[in-house]
C-alpha cells in the first residue's frame, strides 16, 4: 500500500493511493501528471519548483529522469540513509 502526495505553497496538485505490488510504474505516472501540473503553475504564477524524492525503491530514477528533462523541472534525490547523518 502506497500513499503519495504532491503539494505546492498554493495547492495540493497530486494525490495517489495504490494497493498494488508494482507501484514503481504507478509512481512514474503520478510524477508525470505532477510535472504537467507544475509546468502550468510555473507558467501562470511565474515561479520555479524542484521535485524532491528519497531513495525508495519505487522511485525508479531511470523512469523519472527522462520525465524531468522533458518537463525542465529539476529532481533532487535525497542521499541514502546513513546512521551518521540521521
47-71 confidence digits (pLDDT tens): 888 888 877 776 766 778 888 888 8
pLDDT at 85: 61
Q: CA–CA separation, 13 vs 85, rounded Å?
A: 31
86 falls within a domain: no
Give me the tens of pLDDT residue by residue for the chain, a chain 86 residues long: 677 878 888 888 888 877 765 667 777 788 888 888 888 888 888 788 888 887 777 676 677 888 888 888 888 888 777 677 65
6 falls within a domain: yes
Tell me if 71 sits within 8 A of 35, measured CB to CB. Answer: yes
83 falls within a domain: no
Most distant CA atoms of the chain, gap in Å: 42
Determine the structural domain holding residue 30 and report its residue range: 2-77
85 falls within a domain: no
82 falls within a domain: no
As for how many domains the chain has, the answer is 1
71 falls within a domain: yes
Amino acid at each position: 500500500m502506497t500513499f503519495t502526495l504532491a503539494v505546492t505553497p498554493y495547492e495540493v496538485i497530486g494525490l495517489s493511493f495504490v494497493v498494488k505490488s508494482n507501484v514503481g510504474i504507478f509512481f512514474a505516472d503520478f510524477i508525470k501528471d505532477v510535472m504537467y501540473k507544475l509546468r502550468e503553475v510555473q507558467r501562470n504564477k511565474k515561479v520555479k519548483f524542484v521535485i524532491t524524492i528519497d531513495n525508495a525503491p519505487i522511485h525508479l530514477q531511470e523512469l523519472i529522469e527522462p520525465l524531468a528533462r522533458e518537463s525542465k523541472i529539476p529532481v533532487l534525490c535525497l542521499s541514502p540513509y546513513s546512521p551518521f547523518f540521521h
